[in-house]
Chain A
């Protein structure tokens, strides 16, 4: 899966950061599987997006998640 947008990899001021815009049916596990090949790495995505996510099981369509 190709990243859908850019910004920071490790910070909001990084133009090379990679993002994923949440689509219908997405979960953090599915996103982790797509980007890393390993669904078990979803907590890393959750940790990178703690500023916009409170619960790893609650993501919303259209949300822009940073993919480390």
Chain B
């Protein structure tokens, strides 16, 4: 009777010790996972854009720690998660640097294109004005193509204006995307009018 009671008490003591040990790992593991997850979520858009491989690596590490946690392996989860917040913080620094570098490159591209594209528009406008004065179009150009070229020129002007607005509002990426579209349209219009597009004036990607 006493022996059975003693065994029960010993069992309960061991169980309590195990539960205590689990609790010792569970909370810090949960905290580390949660902290890393929150920090990664906060930078996810930029991280996926500028450093997708490193973002995936961090996400996989968090997922692995969470998987251990869900299997109640709190000790393993803590071991897997304890360095994650610091690693994610480090990733945040790298993402910011990568973003700054990308923005700087886009700004250079914009500065070059924003000076160049109005000249393209001017050259096309000059030719359109001349052809508009002509009593008859040259043999390589029909009326429909000329009308399309005039529409294309209007489209270029509108798009260039929108690109400038994007740049002025801080959206360099959109500004460059629109500027490239202007150049592409301009090359198309120039070709349709029998004009040559200088290869050196093509935008860098």
> Given A9-B122, A18-B123, A38 and B136 touching (CB < 8 A)?
yes
| A14 and B140 within 8 A (CB) | no
Can you list, as one digit per residue, whether each of B191-205 has a CB less than 8 Å from chain A (1) or not (0)?
Answer: 000111110110000
By a CB distance below 8 angstroms, the chain A residues around B122 are 9-11, 14, 16
Distance in angstroms between the alpha carbons of A38 and B135 in the assembled complex: 6
| B123 and A10 within 8 A (CB) | yes
By a CB distance below 8 angstroms, the chain A residues around B120 are 16
Q: Is B4 among interface residues, defined by CB-CB distance under 8 A?
A: no
Q: Is A29 among interface residues, defined by CB-CB distance under 8 A?
A: no
User: Number of contact residues on B: which range applies?
Assistant: 20 to 34
Can you list, as one digit per residue, whether each of A25-44 has a CB less than 8 Å from chain B (1) or not (0)?
Answer: 00000000111111011001
**How many cross-chain pairs have Cβ atoms below 8 Å apart between A and B?**
87
A37 partner, pick from B124, B139, B200, beta carbons under 8 A: B139
Q: Is B71 among interface residues, defined by CB-CB distance under 8 A?
A: no
Residue among A6, A9, A17, A33 with max Cβ neighbours from chain B (10 Å): A9
Distance in angstroms between the alpha carbons of A31 and B197 in the assembled complex: 20
By a CB distance below 8 angstroms, the chain B residues around A36 are 130-131, 133-134, 137-138
Nearest residue (CB) in A for B141 is A37
Distance in angstroms between the alpha carbons of A4 and B198 in the assembled complex: 11
By a CB distance below 8 angstroms, the chain B residues around A68 are 126-127, 129-130
| A6 and B196 within 8 A (CB) | yes
Q: Is B174 among interface residues, defined by CB-CB distance under 8 A?
A: no
Binding site for B on A (CB under 8 A): 1-6, 8-11, 13-18, 33-38, 40-41, 44, 67-68
Closest 8 CB pairs of A and B: A9-B123, A16-B123, A37-B138, A38-B134, A9-B126, A6-B198, A14-B119, A36-B134
